[in-house]
Amino acid sequence: MDISVVVPLYNEAESLPELVAWIERVMNENNFSYEVLLINDGSTDNSWEVVTQLHEANPCVKGVCFRRNYGKSPALNTGFARTQGDVVITMDADLQDSPDEIPELYRMVKEDGYDLVSGWKKKRYDPLSKTIPTKLFNATARKVSGIKNLHDFNCGLKAYRSDVIKHIEVYGDMHRYVPYLAKNAGFDRIGEKVVQHRARKYGVTKFGLDRFVNGYLDLLTLWFFAKFGVKPMHFFGLLGSLMFFFGFIAVITVGGLKLYNMWAGNPYTLVTNSPYFYLSLTAMILGTQLFLTGFLGELITRNSSERNHYEISEEIK
C-alpha cells in the first residue's frame, strides 16, 4: 500500500464527508493505493455515525472510536499502530489542511529520502493572539530540539516513512514534538514543506491558550529525557554534589570566622545566630537529596527492560 492517512477527530461530523471525498479524489487522480484511518477521539456529536457511513461507501475508509476523549496524541498513536502504507500522512479533520499537498509530501519521502516532512503554514488565517505565541513557541522548540529547519512544529499536516512511526511512541501531548521524538529515535532526515492554511469552515477550534503552557512543559520533559533519560545521575548527582560542596564550604567558612574572632579577641556571635549557617545547611541537605534522587534514578533505569534498547537501521550477518 502506498499511503495511509491518519486523521484524529473530535466533533467534526460536518467536515468529514467533504474531507474524505477530497482525499479520495486526490488518491484516484494520482493512482495511489491508500487507506484513511479516522480516529474518533470520544466525539459527543454524530461523528462516529458519519465514519461508519463513509466506510460503507468506501472500504478504504477505516475507523477507531474511543469511549471518551483522550487527546490528539493517543489518537495518533492508535492510528500509527494500525497503518499499512509505505508513507503515513497525518492531517487534521477540520479542513484547514489541504489533501492536495499529499502527492508532493509523498514524493519528498519516497524520492528525496526524507524520514519525516513537516508542513509549514507560512501564511496563516489566525488572530494575532494565536500567531504571536505560536512564533515564540516554535522558536523555543527549534532552539531546544536542535531542528533548525522547522518553522511549524505543531502543524498537523506531516508525512512519515512507515519505519518512523513504528519506532516512536506519541503520548500525553507530545504530538507537537513528533519531529523531536523522531530525531531522538535516530531519524534525522527531517524536511519541511510550505503548505496551504485554510480558514476553518465548520465548528470551532478544540485547543485553547493553555496548550502553549503545556507545550513548554512537554518540551522540557522531552529535552530532559533525551539528555538524561538513561543517565539521571549525570544531572541530579552533579547538581547535588555542587550544592553540597558549596554548602559545606560555607559552613566551614562561618565556623572558621567565629574561631578566628575568638582567637583574635574580636566580638563574635553564636554560629546559630548567623543566617548563612542555615542557608549552608539547607544547601547541604538539598544537595544530599538531589544526589540520592540521581542514585535512585540509576537504580530504576538499571532495572528497566529497555535499558539496552537501541534503534538499529541496518545489520549485516
Write out pLDDT tens, residues 6-21: 999 999 999 999 999 9
pLDDT at 277: 83
Alpha helix ranges (H) inside 111-209: 128-145, 162-166, 178-184
Higher pLDDT, 316 or 167: 167
Q: For residue 174, what pLDDT band results from cuts at 50, 70 and 90?
A: confident
Which residue's C-alpha cell is 529547519? 149
Question: Counting beta carbons within 10 angstroms of the beta carbon of residue 6, is it exposed (0 to 12), middle (13 to 18) or buried (19 or more)?
Answer: buried
- Measure the CA–CA gap between 142 and 221, rounded to whole angstroms: 15
The closest alpha carbon to 5, from 237, 183, 160, 173, belongs to 160
Would the pLDDT of 252 be above 70? yes
Q: What number is the average pLDDT over the span 249-259?
A: 85
On the question of pLDDT at 310 being above 50, the answer is no
β 87-90/158-161 pair status:
antiparallel
Provide the percentage of residues in the chain whose pLDDT is more than 90. 41
Enclosing H/E stretch for 38: strand 34-40
Averaged over 133-140, what is the pLDDT?
79
Q: How far apart are CA 139 and CA 153, in angstroms?
A: 10
Looking at residue 197, the DSSP 8-state letter turns out to be B
Please say whether the beta carbons of 152 and 143 come within 8 A.
no
Q: Are 39 and 79 in contact (CB under 8 A)?
A: yes
Residue of 177, 75, 199 whose CA lies nearest to 125: 199
Q: Dump pLDDT digits (tens) for 18-67.
A: 999 999 999 999 999 999 999 999 999 999 999 999 999 999 999 999 99
* Residue 159 pLDDT class (50, 70, 90 cuts): very high
- Note whether 72 and 170 are within 8 A (CB): no
pLDDT at 41: 93
The average confidence (pLDDT) of the chain is 84
pTM of the model as a whole: 0.73
Instruction: Please give the pLDDT value at position 206.
Output: 53
Distance CA 244, CA 311 (A): 38
Q: Is the distance from CB of 191 to CB of 149 less than 8 angstroms?
A: yes
Q: How far apart are CA 177 and CA 7, in angstroms?
A: 17
Residue 214 has pLDDT above 80, yes or no: no
Rounded average pLDDT over 158-176:
88
pLDDT at 212: 58
User: Tens of pLDDT along 272-296?
Assistant: 777 888 888 899 999 999 888 888 8
Q: Quick check: helix, strand or coil at residue 247? A: helix
